[in-house]
Amino acid sequence: MSGPSADGKPRPLRSAPRPAAVHWLVDSAVVFLALIIVGLILGVSWWAILILSLVVGSFAARFTWRADVRAMAARQAGRPDGQPGTGSR
pLDDT tens per residue, range 17-76: 899 999 999 999 999 999 999 999 999 999 999 999 999 999 999 999 999 999 888 888
Q: Domains in the chain: how many in total? A: 1
Measured from the Cβ of residue 46, the count of other Cβ atoms closer than 10 Å reads 13
pTM of the model: 0.72
Decide if 5 is inside a domain. no
Q: Return the pLDDT at 81.
A: 56
**pLDDT at residue 89 above 50?**
no
Decide if 47 is inside a domain. yes
Nearest residue to 50 via CA among 37, 31, 63, 64: 31
Decide if 59 is inside a domain. yes
CA 6 to chain centre: 29
Which domain range does residue 51 map to? Answer: 20-75
Decide if 12 is inside a domain. no
**Torsion-angle region of 81 (φ positive above 0: left; ψ -120 to 50: alpha; else: beta):** alpha
pLDDT average, residue stretch 2-22: 77
Measured from the Cβ of residue 65, the count of other Cβ atoms closer than 10 Å reads 19
- Nearest 5°: phi and psi at 46? -70, -20
